Amino acid sequence: MGDSSQRTTDELREVVDEIRKEAGSRLAIMAHYYAPDEVVELADEVGDSLALAKKAAASTADAVLFCGVHFMLETADILMNAPEKLEARNGRRALVMAPDPTAGCPMADMIAFDQAIEWERQLATLVDVSEFTPITYVNSSAATKAFCGERDGAVCTSANAEKVVRDALRKRPKLLFMPDSRLGRTTCLALGFSHDEIAVWTPDVPLGGNEPEKLRRARAVLWDGYCPIHQKFSADVITEIRAKNPDAKFWVHPEAPREIVDLSDGYGSTTKLLQVVADAAPGSTLAIGTEWKLVDRMRRQNSDKTILYPGATPSVCEDMSKSTLEKVAIALRAWRDGEPINVVTTPDEIAASARKALASLL
């Protein structure tokens, strides 16, 4: 970075620091692990999407600048403005603001409420849908969470998916899992499902592209959504890494395709992957399959270990990268001046139903 750019960065940090000092406890800045380094470095809290939403809900701040993507801000808004939270603030809503309002999640956008309704309608022509518990990955829209909440369903994370599915199966014998079929399949297989008991529903295709008998037999029907970032790992690169580094351990996020999970030594949430790296002995070699910015940060923060990336080219989440320091400063200036921008507000009816599903995580 040249001198001119550095001065600009320093000036932006000064703006942010000045506003934070003036705001005190009224403001919190939260950043997802995949946010740019310059933002992670200044955040009050850094974590995965649910942990940050919970911290937002527990915060006494009047406003949160959430450096993540849209579904994360919806979840934070839903939890921060729950009825009991509003009552404690005498009806005043807490603000959840985005540095960039266009930062979305392709996976979350792969299922809409109307699509979920149609999925349920088509299934009902073949099976008793009351036997199915709908479960959505936290990486989903508030409307998708509401769909599940209205049907006594649940929300899961990559860390607790097995527990949430296990609890659901105690209530009903079958499940609908959305929108991530990769996480859904890995979770079901870990709980003893056979491949024949799992059906994948392709959107906008009659019966999701399945034969009727397949759906009648299925214990789990998975919506065929996915995270594009976690599809870019390479079996060839993994094989090459293992050949050159026989003692290397390979860990991957469960949003990866099943064939990549099968090649790994283990899988886990972002927080789990960070813990695996932290716990590894000095001199260890690890290949970590998750978003590139985080892998690169792991590499720089663990200089006593060799951290490799199991893909031919780095896979960067461009939406997570939109929370730049400049946009953080712009959003904070607007809030300080009494004209907040990029505020995410979930309609009350959707929020109430989504909150029922989120109860499985609280």
Q: How far apart are CA 29 and CA 67, in angstroms?
A: 8
User: What pLDDT shows up at residue 49?
Assistant: 86
Answer for the pair 111, 134: CB distance below 8 angstroms, yes or no: no
Q: Delineate the domains of the chain, giving CATH numbers in brackets.
A: 3-103+321-346 (3.40.50.10800), 108-228 (3.40.50.10800), 233-308 (3.40.50.10800)
Per run of 10 residues, the mean pLDDT along the chain (length 362 residues) is 59 95 96 96 92 88 96 96 94 97 98 98 98 98 98 96 97 98 98 98 97 98 97 94 95 97 96 97 97 96 96 94 97 98 97 96 82
Q: If phi over 0 gives left and psi between -120 and 50 gives alpha, with beta otherwise, what is residue 178?
A: beta
DSSP states along 190-246 = HTT--GGGEEEE-TTSGGGG--HHHHHH-SEEEE-B--GGGG---HHHHHHHHHH-T
pTM of the predicted protein model: 0.94
User: What pLDDT shows up at residue 292?
Assistant: 95
The identity of residue 289, as a single letter, is G
Answer for the pair 144, 138: CB distance below 8 angstroms, yes or no: no
The identity of residue 344, as a single letter, is V
User: What pLDDT shows up at residue 6?
Assistant: 57
Answer for the pair 289, 310: CB distance below 8 angstroms, yes or no: yes
The identity of residue 204, as a single letter, is D
